[in-house]
Chains A and B, each alone.
Chain A
Amino acid sequence: MFGRRACTVVERTTYGPYVVVDVHDPDGPAPAPGQFYMLAAVERWGGGDGERPFLPRAFSVLRAREGRLSFLFDDVGPGTNRLMDLDREDELWLTGPLGEGWRPTDRRPILIGGGVGIAPLVALADTLDAPEVLLGFRDAHHAQAAALVTQGSDPSVTTDDGSAGHHGLVTELLPDDLSGVELFACGPPAMLEAIRRLGVPAQLALESGMACGFGACFGCVTPLAEGGYARVCVDGPVFAAAELAEVPAH
């Protein structure tokens, strides 16, 4: 659907420090898991820290059903801060669905997410039959978001401080033998870079600073293994790990 559209917030739920906002989007095309939207609040977008936000912000679709879209927000700056403040009846500008999502595989999928990066994995898990899901969080408070995974086996959880689940990095939960497996990962750059370096079949959902989300500005690029750059918004956000030169720190 061309152009942005105003959608109404119908529900707001908290999961530890995270907020899930559901919006009514009766006319938009159904998104594929791993796709994203550019979002901006209709009211009070701007005037935050440094007079920002000005540009819309990119968010993975967390869940989509019957004309309703859910997004998961983590407060990292003026844009996410404003979006987390949205309540029922508030309006949101929305452009999308955008980008290339997860690609199907014949291999055994393992979903591996870190922090707010679990969002596109929740969308993917909804379409799979009881996939294995590994999630890493900072602490028990953040780990409350693991409850968002309702499809399949209970997710295995790790925390950085050991306050819930396994004490350590989520990548430590990966089986030693990854033959026949394909990893589907989203999370902090260091986690994705560690997974890329495993050299096994993997799809990585990247983040990048974006101005437009539809290929117009060339601002969101990531370096490719073959040289040059790809636009995260239109060539991704999901990339095969082998395509990437590295997962840049920002």
Chain B
Amino acid sequence: MIDFCGLQLEHEVINGSGTFDAIAARRAFGAELLDRFPFSAFVSKTITLKPRAGNPPPRLWETAGGMINSIGLPNKGLAGYLEHDLPQLAELPVPLITNVMGSTAEELTELAAACDERPEIAAIELNVSCPNVATGLDIGAVPAELERVVAGVRPATTKPLIVKLTPNTADVAACGRAAEAGGADAVSLINTLRAMALDSDGEPWLGGRTGGLSGPAIRNVAVAQVAAVAAGVTVPIVGMGGVQTGAHALDLLRAGATLVAVGTESFRDPAAGGRIARELREKAANSANPFA
């Protein structure tokens, strides 16, 4: 058992927000999904106060060793999530982490307070990769602003509060320290790196013009950013970015993470999380044996 902010988890591998829809997967794969659930905790996709349709298609572009997405955070909004999705997510065999995003501390506080009231939710993750309408920067990109936002949300919940850092910043280590100073119980990283793909006429391919790069292409950026953040914070870290095997997961743990999240690899194999957890366990067993 792994202790993560007081949650007792079966193993180190969870999902990255927005990369696994447990409700749709249960429809596609049936009860076997619950019997062989790949993650030790389930992270919802990002929920916002109001419903969002998401970005116009096309939303995907495949790159060398990864992909760019401009999904645009489609979701049913807070009320729709609590009414329709939460009862179904509560049936999963693992603790539920709800990921929320708002463009102001007030919005995030309202979201966190609503989650705080629901016993089905074990922890809250704040997605601070939302552009600030005034500056165009992600609200999580400027350490002082991030600390102010997290400190504003903190009183709204007694549940563990995870801050998902944006990698699109000049100094991710400073952002990690700011999240901790604001009262975060944990930080998670990395989110996708801002990227753009052009079609054969030189126009942006993606409906949202830019998108986020994920997958193996960003793996070593993740290792560097996790190590940089780990050097400056005492709270636990959820490391993610390009994890495809137990060896990749181990790299992030060695760089300072307590848990590892799998995103894009689940698209290639829905059961990848379970395989990666197994490979990690085998590696740990082998390294405990000096003759292995």
Q: Which residues of A contact B (CB under 8 A)?
A: 1-4, 40, 46, 50-56, 93, 95, 98, 208-212, 214-223, 227-229, 231, 234, 248, 250
Q: Is B28 an interface residue (CB 8 A)?
A: yes
In the bound complex, CA of A204 to CA of B160 (Å): 46
Q: Is B32 an interface residue (CB 8 A)?
A: yes
In the bound complex, CA of A132 to CA of B217 (Å): 49
Q: Is B112 an interface residue (CB 8 A)?
A: no
Interface contact B62-A219, CB-CB below 8 Å: no
Mark out the residues of chain B between 249 and 279 whose CB falls within 8 Å of any chain A CB in the assembled complex: 264, 266-271, 274
Q: Is B215 an interface residue (CB 8 A)?
A: yes
B33 surroundings in chain A (CB, below 8 A): 2
Interface contact B270-A211, CB-CB below 8 Å: no
Dominant SS among interface residues on chain A: loop
Q: Is B80 an interface residue (CB 8 A)?
A: no
B25 surroundings in chain A (CB, below 8 A): 214-216
Range for the number of chain B residues in contact with chain A: 35 or more
Q: Is B7 an interface residue (CB 8 A)?
A: no
Minimum CB–CB distance from B261 to chain A (whole Å) comes to 14
Interface contact B60-A216, CB-CB below 8 Å: no
Given A234-B24, A250-B58, residue A216 in contact with residue B19 (CB < 8 A): yes
Contacts between the two chains (Cβ within 8 Å), count: 121
Q: Is B77 an interface residue (CB 8 A)?
A: no
Interface contact A40-B268, CB-CB below 8 Å: yes
- Surface stretch bound by A, among B67-75, B150-158, B178-186, B280-288: B67-75
Interface contact B63-A54, CB-CB below 8 Å: yes
A-B contacts, 15 listed (Cβ < 8 Å): A2-B32, A2-B270, A4-B268, A50-B64, A51-B63, A54-B65, A95-B270, A209-B60, A215-B21, A216-B266, A216-B270, A218-B18, A219-B69, A227-B53, A234-B24
Interface contact B269-A95, CB-CB below 8 Å: yes
Interface contact A214-B69, CB-CB below 8 Å: no
In the bound complex, CA of A229 to CA of B54 (Å): 8
Given A2-B270, A212-B266, A229-B53, residue A219 in contact with residue B60 (CB < 8 A): yes
